[in-house]
Amino acid sequence: MRALIVDQPGALRAGQVPDPVAGPDEVVVRVDACGICGTDLHILAGEFPPAPYPLVPGHEFAGRIAAVGPKVTGLDEGQRVAVDPSLFCGHCAACRSGRGNLCESWGATGDTVNGAFAELVAVPAANAYALPDNVSSSAGALVEPLSCAVHGVRRLGPVLGESVLLVGAGTMGLLLQQLVQAAGASRVVVVDRNTERLATAAGLGATAVTTSVGELNGEKFDAAVDVTGVPSAIEGALSAVCRGGRLLVFGVAAADALINVSPFRVYNDEISIVGSMAVLNSYGAALELVASGQISVDSLVTAAYSLDEYEQAFTAVRSGEGIKTQIVPTGK
């Protein structure tokens, strides 16, 4: 089958790899759509330590079941599914305490094992969620990023009646925006340098949008979320947190990135700084939010490319063009 392969950091190509075979508890999915995520860019750049090479990346995906392992029940060939890429060991201390996303042997389809920038991918059957008829495969591929956002908002805590600052209006920022609005935030301000993305944020109901934290004239927020992973942006988000407020570090930074934090301010203002790592018991909830129409995802997909058009696709993502770019391995 054809796939995109990262042979080593900086080296991405389209080529042939062996067809996957379904293990006893696995299904093979024929991929209809797979989103390009910031983590994929980190993997390509060699900035995501868990990733081995060579690797077929791609972890935001949906498609149709092409083969079913002999022990699998409840799933059939031809059925459309979206897939939680999470791979937890199940027996380390983190897994046994219900925090599998912090698994000592953490893995994910497309991050640590071959993923869905390919015509076919093998996944645990337990991770495949049937898609209802009203959810397209393109929208189904956005369930994974939404599930990360759901976990992030759970980490942030209740925002009912609170003011929230979101720094970054890419796919994740726009999903987080919708979630905090649905959770009752009284004021939601979105920051991004991309004015087209800010227009989308405004259309989704943001109270205000701006191109920099500096333009907020010292306004403070009960909660701030960095969705960029850029150290200067994280520092800007933290500077806008009010006394007693909290910062969620959601964006993926390079492993060696550092930020400047005043420990006195954290102490004196009782600032809470929390992180959010991937997916944790949030995939099913995210699918329900999409299926019910409570969270809008279709408008976020702005481009789709074939496997052979991967260079154009990754160039578009790096340049900030559009919002969500997807690879369509089996043809547009």
Structure tokens at 126: 């337990």
pLDDT of residue 330: 87
| 280-289 pLDDT tens trace | 999 999 999 9
pLDDT of residue 220: 98
Structure tokens at 291: 């299926």
pLDDT of residue 332: 58
pLDDT of residue 254: 84
The low-confidence residues of the chain, meaning pLDDT below 50, are none
pLDDT of residue 52: 97
CB 142 within 8 A of CB 290: yes
Number of helical H runs and strand E runs in the chain: 10, 17
CB 281 within 8 A of CB 86: no
8, β-bridge pairs: 11
The SS3 call for residue 305 is strand
pLDDT of residue 255: 83
Distance from C-alpha of 104 to C-alpha of 88, rounded to nearest angstrom? 8
| 44-98 pLDDT tens trace | 999 899 999 999 999 999 999 999 999 999 999 999 999 999 999 999 999 999 9
Question: pTM for the whole thing?
Answer: 0.97
Structure tokens at 162: 């609170």
